[in-house]
Chain A
């Protein structure tokens, strides 16, 4: 029954109404998009990476002693490090790869049959030994693991024709190359050579997403030991031992060989978090902006409502004098705000769509119904909360004000 009156008053105060509605509209549009972006980056971060990453330590050892130029010396040191790492109490397994999962590592074209075909794709490429899959905690779902006798010292990329021409691929890559057919036993062309697939592993999100689909990877057997190559080790520990073991391992590795630097030793989760960092920071910036927008808009609503109350003291007094209850006065302001924010929300939805089209074109996340509804509810609540104090103040206006001259 009050709505027609409110509408009349809103039309009378066009400027304030339009300004507030616009403000709410922009706030909602940005908020919805920010939520969509944050949701998207959370999804990327929370996607299972397939690895037992909570219990893995990543180590990067860079040699500088000229002795490392001797391949035999380099290989002996690699063997020494691995032996030490595998025998630490609390360590489940240890391996060496050409690059740490999540880092920007190697990337190669993998083709199902011949280079010219359209069946190829680019994929992350890793060197691996017979301990690699156990260390990563990824499961072989088809075929078999590498055997110790298939692992040789080689430089990277694995283009040496004299080595075993075999490889293990992720199930996503297998599906991309061969559809539903079994991949084991098929050949692919990679690094210029024909390689036979001997195994398929389950989800492994080890490729940096900047390079492409993080689940597309291929493993080649071998120890990456070119001249003065840096060595990358992964150590899988029993649950909860990552942090206590890091300092111990660093000290021991340096004592084992002083001619190198332990450039990096940290939980593998650090590398994986860095890989998705860009999206996360984008989301954070957007969230900060929308947080500021919400606060600014709330202040704006509060300011306008306070102003309206001051301006209408005599009116309110008159209404009270004519028998309106305090609740009725409060209800009036809440309803008025509901109409303004409601208009803003409708405008905001219209504005959010083009903004979201641009964002999803850039791969920054799509706003769905869920995110939009949460945004609407939130903005609605903020609007109502912002008029709380002015409405309460209005309800305190004494009916005697009606008789007073302003």
Chain B
């Protein structure tokens, strides 16, 4: 084994140009493959691994009898993907779920309450307007304080949870609990500072595009401020029924624009909640609001992500196939280079054979060498892919977790490069050990 390693290192050093070319060939192949695999893997990432099977997106079918919400990623037969204000507020009265929260995203302007050394003008922040259940349901991490108490869902206290980035910007990362910030002219008291939280993809905020690559909100405020401050919805809004102009009319309209999530810990709880949804829908049918057949659903996190990202599966798969084809070309190329490399030193092999080394020893020696080259190439490939992905992330201002390397990707990269080296080396190694030594010795 050690002798094999010594021979391999010797051989790599003896022909540095060829060795570098070989490592570069594997490296490029693995690099390109890894970049495309990472993009593909993105669609399978679990943003809430510890409880993705207990957290559910809630959908009730409040749509028009004669039409379908045919926009974005919505698929025929499904309830609308968002919820009306009326339904969301009614569902919030249920005591079945462990936690639940209706939510939407708004754009607000933040101004420090006290004079700030560098921030003179109000700056734009994304606000998630939601209920206290949001924080425990999604296991959001906190540096200081925590989510607001459920009593604050009723008002009147203006409380706010801010992201760690907002806290860094305003307070230099210090404990800011109890301080105030001005949001659209109203003073809010900070009760919690979130730790860095990067659910990827941002599952709870999927809109028409399907791929949540933005960070969570900058500030989180209780839902009732939406009515009090008449905040606008900075997300999709789909409706089928006309309503008269005005904020109040919009609230009472059949427009769907809210996201609704609930935590259901057991199958019984889930069954109980589905029963609740069905009896709610039946009741709404009686009063003439719901018209379609009962079609209420709860989707756990991964089911929900799959439901809204399916249009990306095709393109991602095409690119993955291209990555595999490129890797294949690199392997083919490698076979050629290794053939050249090994046949070029048949003389040395022949001497070993003549001195009594069995064919298996020669074969092993060569395979060992290609395995080593493969691993070196794999490391280079990982480096290349990380470099390119970092550039892409910086260029498009994407989440740092978006293309992050995890154990799975690392394992695949090294495994595939080792395999690529071995597959490519098989034929050349076989040629090297099966040639008759006499030919190469006699020509000298």
B32 and A289 within 8 A (CB): yes
Q: Which of B32, B185, B245, B337 contacts A160 (CB 8 A)?
A: B245
Shortest Cβ distance from residue B444 to the other chain A in the assembled complex, whole angstroms: 9
Given contacts A160-B244, A192-B242, contact A64 B184 (CB under 8 A): yes
A30: contacting residue among B66, B243, B326, CB under 8 A:
B326
Given contacts A30-B322, A64-B184, A261-B122, contact A23 B333 (CB under 8 A): yes
Q: Does B274 contact A (CB under 8 A)?
A: no
Contact A229 B232, beta carbon cutoff 8 Å? yes
Query: If A261-B122, A362-B314 touch, does A154 touch B245 (CB 8 Å cutoff)?
Result: yes
For B28, B186, B323, B326, the residue with the greatest tally of chain A CB atoms inside 10 Å of its CB is: B326
Question: Is there a chain A Cβ closer than 8 Å to B354's Cβ?
Answer: no
Within 8 A of A (CB), among B408-426: none
Contacts of A297 in B (CB 8 A): 329, 333
Indicate whether A30 sits within 8 Å of B71 (C-beta atoms), given known contacts A16-B336, A364-B318: no
B107 within 8 A of A: yes
Could you say which of B25, B124, B245, B336 contacts A62, with CB atoms under 8 Å apart?
Answer: B124
Residues of B near A107 (CB, < 8 A) are 71
B-contact 0/1 string along A254-268, CB 8 Å cutoff = 000000010100000
Distance between B221 CB and nearest chain A CB, rounded to angstroms = 15
Of chain B, the residue at the smallest CB distance from A212 is B71
Assess whether A358 is in contact with B332, with CB atoms less than 8 Å apart. Answer: no
Q: Tell me whether B242 and A20 are in contact (CB under 8 A).
A: no
Q: Is the CB of B318 within 8 A of A299?
A: no
**CB–CB B319/A406 < 8 A:** no
Residue A228, interface by CB 8 Å: yes
Judge whether B443 is part of the interface by a CB distance below 8 angstroms.
yes
- Is B67 interfacial (CB 8 A cutoff)? yes
With A160-B244, A193-B242 known as contacts, the answer to whether A304 contacts B336 (CB < 8 A) is: yes
Q: How near does chain A come to B147, taking the closest CB pair, in angstroms?
A: 25
Question: What residue of chain A has the Cβ atom nearest to residue B334's Cβ?
Answer: A300
**Given the known A-B contacts A19-B332, A69-B230, A285-B319, are A30 and B325 also in contact in the complex, defined by CB atoms under 8 Å?**
yes
- B356 interfacial by beta-carbon distance below 8 Å: no
State which residues 380-406 of A face B: CB under 8 Å. Answer: 405-406
Q: Which residues of B contact A361 (CB under 8 A)?
A: 314
Query: Does any Cβ of B come within 8 Å of A7's Cβ?
Result: no
Whether B340 lies near A261 (C-beta < 8 A) is: no
Q: Is B330 an interface residue (CB 8 A)?
A: yes
- B208 and A104: CB pair below 8 A? yes
Dominant secondary structure at the A interface:
helix
**Which residues from A are CB-within-8-Å of B123?**
261
Would you give the 0/1 interface string for A292-326, flagging 1 where the beta carbon is closer than 8 Å to chain B? 11001101100110110011000000000000000
> What sequence of 0s and 1s flags, for each residue 228-251 of chain B, a beta carbon within 8 Å of any chain A beta carbon?
001110000000011111110000
Contacts of A292 in B (CB 8 A): 28, 32, 326
What residues of B have a CB within 8 angstroms of the CB of A230 in the complex?
A: 107, 232
Say if the beta carbon of A203 comes within 8 Å of chain B.
no
Is B247 touching A64 in the complex (CB atoms < 8 A)? no
B329:A26 contact, CB within 8 angstroms = yes
Asked whether A27 and B329 contact (CB < 8 A) given A159-B245, A286-B322, the answer is: yes
Measured between alpha carbons, how far is A2 from B333 in the docked complex, in Å? 27
Cα A243 to Cα B247 in complex, Å, equals 38
Mind listing 20 A-B residue pairs with CB under 8 Å?
Answer: A19-B332, A22-B332, A23-B332, A23-B333, A30-B322, A64-B122, A69-B230, A211-B208, A226-B232, A226-B247, A227-B230, A227-B247, A282-B315, A286-B319, A286-B322, A292-B28, A296-B333, A297-B329, A304-B336, A359-B318
Given contacts A192-B241, A296-B28, A299-B21, 14 further A-B contacts (CB under 8 A): A16-B339, A19-B332, A26-B328, A62-B109, A65-B185, A66-B185, A289-B32, A296-B333, A299-B25, A300-B337, A307-B340, A355-B321, A361-B314, A362-B318
Interface residues of A (CB under 8 A from B): 15-16, 19-20, 22-23, 26-27, 29-30, 62, 64-66, 69, 104, 107, 109, 115-116, 122, 154-155, 159-161, 191-193, 210-211, 226-230, 261, 263, 282, 285-286, 289, 292-293, 296-297, 299-300, 303-304, 306-307, 310-311, 355, 358-359, 361-362, 364, 405-406
